[in-house]
Amino acid sequence: MIFRTRKWVKPEDLNANGTLFGGSLLRWIDEESAIYAIIQMGNPRSVTKLISEINFVSSARQGDMIEMGLRAVKFGRTSLTMRAKVRNIITGEVILTIDKIVFVSLDENGNPQPHGYTDITFKRDRIPTSMSVSKPRT
């Protein structure tokens, strides 16, 4: 599992108990998963289909630095299934685990579209450029 994104827990991310609000964490995970799925399936029209049981293992507090990790566990015909983990950068303590996050690749009509991939890429070879407003790297 590769931990790519880091976050610094700030006052606006807290719940009434003074710890990291679960909703903020899920928003970050969904965004992280979306970017991962787009890169792996090569399609900017990749949507969240399912998030399985979420285990909030431990709390994070204001000032904590956390990191989010994802790993593709199954390439389906039109879907990609990932596993997620969030941990404290300093202590290594696990904050959250999700066994299954499923994204589906869609066509322009919003129907599932085969992505044609069977394994993980660690390169930039599938990054979709057609819908991007930025110019791709040369």
Ligand X SMILES: CC(=O)SCCNC(=O)CCNC(=O)[C@H](O)C(C)(C)COP(=O)(O)OP(=O)(O)OC[C@H]1O[C@@H](n2cnc3c(N)ncnc32)[C@H](O)[C@@H]1OP(=O)(O)O
| Minimum distance from residue 71 beta carbon to ligand X (Å) | 17
Choose, by CB under 6 A, the member of 26, 47, 54, 73 that binds ligand X: 47
The reply to whether 48 sits near ligand X by the rule CB under 6 A is yes
19 touches 61 (CB < 8 A): yes
Q: Shortest Cβ distance from residue 119 to ligand X (Å)?
A: 14
The β-bridge relationship of strands 65-75 and 54-56 is unpaired
Shortest Å, Cβ 118 to ligand X: 11
Contact mark string toward ligand X, 74..113, x via CB under 6 A: --xxxx----------------------x-x-x---x-x-
| Residue showing tokens 């710890």 | 19
Q: Which residue is nearest to ligand X (CB)?
A: 76
Asked if 54 interacts with ligand X (CB under 6 A), we say no
Among 21, 44, 49, 62, binds ligand X (CB under 6 A): 49
Q: Which residues 6+ apart lie within 8 Å of 136 measured at CB?
A: 127, 129
How far from 98 is each of 51, 54, 58, CA to CA, in Å? Answer: 8, 5, 13
Q: H helices of 7-123, where?
A: 22-41
Pseudo-torsion of CA 131, 39, 22, 86, nearest 10°? -160
Q: Is 30 in the site for ligand X (CB under 6 A)?
A: yes
Q: For binding to ligand X (CB under 6 A), which residues are involved?
A: 30, 34, 47-50, 76-79, 102, 104, 106, 110, 112
